[in-house]
């Protein structure tokens, strides 16, 4: 979608595992046994894809944390 920021969500699945998804995505990009594993992988995916927003949902489905992930390969790194 043009103009929309790159983002990923970490959500709990009905079986208790955790999934990394795109907003409104129907398929998981990655699944993990723990939320921490899913957050780590989502961060890596966003970094690889040029950065974006990571939303971590709690067990109640509500967003409990949101972070901005920087690009992994900054074409203009800071000097010094």
Cα–Cα distance between 74 and 71 in angstroms, integer? 6
Q: What mean pLDDT value characterizes the chain?
A: 88
pLDDT of residue 27: 93
Work out the angle at residue 3's Cα, subtended by the Cα atoms of residues 7 and 72, and round it to the nearest 5 degrees: 45
Parse the chain into domains and list their residue ranges. Answer: 7-69
Residue-by-residue DSSP string for 6-64? PEEEEEE-TTS-EEEE-TT-SS-SEEESSHHHHHHHHHHHHHHTT-EEEEEE-TTSSEE
pLDDT of residue 2: 40
pTM of the shown model? 0.82
């Amino acid at each position: 979608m043009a103009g929309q920021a790159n983002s990923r969500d970490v959500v709990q699945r009905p079986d208790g595992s955790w999934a990394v998804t795109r907003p409104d995505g129907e398929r998981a990009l990655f699944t993990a046994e723990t939320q921490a594993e899913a957050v780590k992988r989502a961060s890596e995916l966003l970094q690889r894809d040029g950065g974006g927003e990571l939303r971590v949902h709690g067990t109640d489905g509500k967003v409990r944390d949101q972070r901005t992930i920087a690009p992994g390969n900054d074409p203009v790194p800071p000097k010094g």
